[in-house]
Amino acid sequence: MNARELALALLNDWQKSHQLADDLLKIALDGSTLQGSDRAFVTELFYGCLRQKLTLEFLVAQLANVPPQPIVANILQLGLYQLFYLKTPAHAAVNETVALAKTQAHTSEAKFVNAILRRAEREHDALQARLDATRESAPWIYYSHPQWLWERWVARLGRESAAALCKWNNQPPPTFIRINTLKTSIKPADIDAEPTTHPLCWRVVNMSGLFQGKSFTSGEFYVQDPSTLAAVDVLDPQPGESVLDMCAAPGGKATYLAQKMQNRGRIIAADLSSSRLALVGENCRRLGVTIVATLACEGTHLDRCLRGEQFDRVLVDAPCSNTGVLRRRADLRWRIEESEIRKLATLQEKLLTAAVPFTKPQGILVYSTCSLEEEENQRVVERFGRSHPEFALETTQSIFPPRDGMDGAFVARFRKTKAA
């Protein structure tokens, strides 16, 4: 397949399955012979069409009297994304997309695609003006986010901040690396990267060969957004201590815990998924971490496996709606539903409560999510504090992407000041 054919296949697969876009793309690229710029073009087309899904559907609706069949709609969206967002030369965007339609759809449908895209080329400015008008009349279309999510954010953040967050989510995310101080004290020489506000975190400038170089195989860095370091920094584990990471996979925080502990002490990395725990082990081996032991067990049932054990510090990095990382998870905005947020808050509170018996007196308990929603963050912390007065809330931290320049996150630190 060429790049456009592969991008179309990915859009079709995503539409028909419940698989994550990241997983589909990795499988597709691993099985492809495409190289360099073609791989980057597939990624841009696939993720771009997912991010701009609502605006592209709006454009199709302006141009077609009858909604096209799914595969034809996806072909049109690929063409329109190139015309309106990539600024691909019009003749190339139209001709290549029509050529794609001729191999992937019926003759009549290919003619339909040709007619629609040539009209879009002719009426580009008028269509752009109609799309721009939705910024006031239907801003969720303009910013390509679910209406319920836009309205929820406007109600809590205000229109200006909600718009800034949506614009942030519609940009391709940068890649960051965390320097592994168990192996090196400086940025690896074979990585083209620039410093960030976090002393261990660098923004990758050139992705070429990132995972093929000596520094990767020797474990000198781990790919990780700076926002995910906050929970471990707030937990502040010390060398020689015991730490429980209750929702550990794939191991970014567990390996950073070990790094901060100078690989001295004991870390139990628990997770429900054995396959994801295998990633924890794999990452530990590459990074030279030797103090992490994995445990396949769901967080609310850890008492069955760790009966009577207590730890100096406990981290509950809870499953959440992921609304703070929608920039990084291109398709997630179309997968989550508002009702899930309440269900997740219930699970988060159960996990936090399950951590209570594992926390030593005077021990530290940290709760974190990559959600921006108050129900999953402040409200969970408030309810936990009321029901567990033996825990004193010491600090909270909220990371808001447009303001802080990184993925969204929430962190709360408790100290167990007395026996229950």
> What does the block give as tokens for 48?
């771009």
Cα(261)–Cα(266) distance, integer angstroms: 9
Report how many helices (DSSP H) and strands (DSSP E) the chain contains, helices first: 19, 11
What angle is formed at CA 397 by the lines to CA 393 and CA 401, rounded to 5 degrees? 160
Among 49, 166, 201, 370, the active-site one is 370
Asked if residue 52 lies in contact with residue 80, where contact means CB atoms within 8 angstroms, the answer is no
Nearest to 321 by CA among 302, 306, 335: 335
Rounded to 5 degrees, what are φ and ψ at 193? -150, 160
Cα(348)–Cα(375) distance, integer angstroms: 10
β-bridge partners, 295: 270
Cα-based distances in Å from 294 to 253, 256, 270, 279, 283:
13, 15, 6, 10, 12
Cα(98)–Cα(118) distance, integer angstroms: 10
247 is catalytic: no
Cα(40)–Cα(38) distance, integer angstroms: 5
Cα(283)–Cα(39) distance, integer angstroms: 25
Q: Which amino acid makes up residue 134?
A: T
Q: Give me the helices (H) in 203-265, please.
A: 214-217, 230-235, 252-260
Cα(322)–Cα(333) distance, integer angstroms: 9
Cα(376)–Cα(354) distance, integer angstroms: 16
How deeply is 328 buried, as exposed, middle or buried, from its count of CB atoms within 10 A (0-12, 13-18, 19+)? buried
Asked if residue 333 lies in contact with residue 149, where contact means CB atoms within 8 angstroms, the answer is yes
Catalytic residue list: 370
